[in-house]
């Protein structure tokens, strides 16, 4: 008997003001594809919600879930299990010193909330700096540090949150004599303004190494080091949000490795659970001890749950064994080369940027790029490719392209071919 498909709005709360539900009901997913109830296959170039780095229904993840849920799924939050102890140790071992203490949570917002709470307690301060196109989550402190969306209509934000200009090389705010982004002067000016507004209580700077929802903006080499210097001068802690960039996505295990800058606090989420709800906060023994002595409290229902921790261990197993950091570099070169070739043949492509398998493609048009981006997205879907555009006014022509690290060369090529046809179709029309 066929399923009745009522309008989504009939019983579901719409949780994105700018976006809408996709028109299909998804029945199942496998590898790099999702399949609708009416039998269509869509190549998934967003890894679900930028999370499923091992693709959908990876056999080892499936086996882990089946085994672990029968043995031990959830505990009182004060109890510990072997999967939690193992994952905390392995994450610490994958990171440079002094990041050797871990806390396991569920979502990126929750991890950023805990990180900011740590920073405020340890520094005794409350002010937070983040990028003007940031997205760090929808819980209280994370939402106050989010500037890309969701600030209007909810009453006053918490005091002491400041926005820092985005060092966007394609859309530079300040330029040097050659017309290139002058990010050092921009950073200096940004902190001059922050210092003027601060009440002397700067606690933390929370940023992504590559702004994803903000347009796939890769921080220029040297920027993170300069930012950490700004933090150190003011007694602030540097928090890096690697929800989308962590665990091999960019071709390195962690995106900050390229710059040789170690944060005071690191947050992981999306990629850590490979699509399941798992997040982590990592910091130093010194910061953890200071926080504990001051009575740090972040007691949640699912802190240190064994089931997602077991999944996290399997994710690390697969990433390590299959050298998916190198795989992301190789596939990233193939994807980037294909997109550069499309840019040569489609003048409407203004910029291609990113690292590894987190790539941004920005359309450039004399008309409405938001409308153009939406049209290309629709046409890609009609042809069998799921793409995601940045949901920011004026940036709706920017695609976030993030296939699973387990994608094949043939799937990368198929996605590029579909995008080529969609661009041809839409621009011709």
Q: Across the strands, what pairs with 26?
A: 36
Chain center to CA of 51: 8
Residue 343 CB coordination number (10 Å): 16
400 given a catalytic annotation: yes
Contact between residue 264 and residue 284 where contact means Cβ atoms under 8 Å apart: yes
Distance between CA atoms of residues 399 and 115, nearest Å: 29
Distance between CA atoms of residues 129 and 114, nearest Å: 16
Half-sphere exposure of 78 (CA within 13 A, CB side): 1
The catalytic position among 241, 305, 325, 411 is: 241
Query: Of 407, 415, 268, 246, whose CA–CA distance to 327 is shortest?
Result: 407
Distance between CA atoms of residues 147 and 144, nearest Å: 8
270 given a catalytic annotation: yes
The catalytic position among 125, 234, 270, 353 is: 270
Contact between residue 61 and residue 315 where contact means Cβ atoms under 8 Å apart: yes
244 given a catalytic annotation: yes
208 given a catalytic annotation: yes
* Angle between the N-to-C axes of helices 306-321 and 324-345, in degrees from 0 to 180, rounded to the nearest 10: 70
Residue 200 CB coordination number (10 Å): 9
Chain center to CA of 59: 24
Kind plus residue range of the DSSP H or E element containing 128: strand 127-131
Q: Are strands 279-284 and 265-268 parallel, antiparallel or unpaired?
A: antiparallel
The catalytic position among 120, 135, 234, 379 is: 135
Contact between residue 57 and residue 48 where contact means Cβ atoms under 8 Å apart: no
Q: Write the DSSP assignment of 288-342 as a string of letters.
A: HHHHHHTT-----TTTT-HHHHHHHHHHHHHHHHTTHHHHHHHHHHHHHHHHHHH
The catalytic position among 242, 244, 252, 329 is: 244
The catalytic position among 234, 327, 329, 400 is: 400
Residues contacting 6, CB < 8 A, separation 6+:
none
Residues contacting 429, CB < 8 A, separation 6+:
none
Query: Of 343, 340, 263, 273, whose CA–CA distance to 99 is shortest?
Result: 263
HEC string of 212-231? Answer: CCCCCEECCCCHHHHHHHHH
The catalytic position among 113, 168, 182, 208 is: 208
Catalytic positions, written as ranges: 135, 208, 241, 244, 270, 400
């Amino acid at each position: 008997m066929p399923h009745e498909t009522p309008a989504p709005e009939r019983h579901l709360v719409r949780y994105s003001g700018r976006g809408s539900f996709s028109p299909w009901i998804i029945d199942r997913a496998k590898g790099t594809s999702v399949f609708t109830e009416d039998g269509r296959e869509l190549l998934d170039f967003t890894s679900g919600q930028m999370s499923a780095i091992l693709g959908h229904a990876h056999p080892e993840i499936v086996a882990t879930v089946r085994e672990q849920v029968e043995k031990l799924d959830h505990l009182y939050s004060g109890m510990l299990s072997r999967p939690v102890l193992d994952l905390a140790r392995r994450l610490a071992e994958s990171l440079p010193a002094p990041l050797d203490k871990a806390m396991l949570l569920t979502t990126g917002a929750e991890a950023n909330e805990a990180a900011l709470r740590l920073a405020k307690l340890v520094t005794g301060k409350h002010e937070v700096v983040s990028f003007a196109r940031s997205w760090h989550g929808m819980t209280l402190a994370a939402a106050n540090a989010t500037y890309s969306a969701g600030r209007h209509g909810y009453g006053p934000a918490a005091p002491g949150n400041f926005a820092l200009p985005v060092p966007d090389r394609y859309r530079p705010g300040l330029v040097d004599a050659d017309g290139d982004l002058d990010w050092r002067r921009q950073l200096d000016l940004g902190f001059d303004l922050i210092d003027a507004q601060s009440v002397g209580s700067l606690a933390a700077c929370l940023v992504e190494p590559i702004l994803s929802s903000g347009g796939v903006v890769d921080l220029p080499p040297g920027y993170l080091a300069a930012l950490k210097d700004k933090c150190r001068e003011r007694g602030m802690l540097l928090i890096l949000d690697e929800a989308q960039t962590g665990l091999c996505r960019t071709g390195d295990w962690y995106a900050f490795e390229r710059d040789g800058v170690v944060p005071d606090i690191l947050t992981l989420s999306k990629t850590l659970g490979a699509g399941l709800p798992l997040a982590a906060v990592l910091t130093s023994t010194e910061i953890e001890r200071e926080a504990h002595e001051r009575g740090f409290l972040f007691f949640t229902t699912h802190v240190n749950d064994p089931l997602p921790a077991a999944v996290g261990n399997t994710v690390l197993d697969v990433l390590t064994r299959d050298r998916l950091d190198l795989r992301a570099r190789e596939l990233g070169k193939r994807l980037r080369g294909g997109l550069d070739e499309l840019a040569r043949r489609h003048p409407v492509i203004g910029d291609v940027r990113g690292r590894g398998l987190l790539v941004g493609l920005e359309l450039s048009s004399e008309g409405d790029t938001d409308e153009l981006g939406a049209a290309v997205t629709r046409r890609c879907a009609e042809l069998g490719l799921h793409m995601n555009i940045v949901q920011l006014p004026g940036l709706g022509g920017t695609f976030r392209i993030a296939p699973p690290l387990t994608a094949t060369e043939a799937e990368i090529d198929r996605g590029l071919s579909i995008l080529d046809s969609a661009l041809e179709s839409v621009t011709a029309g």
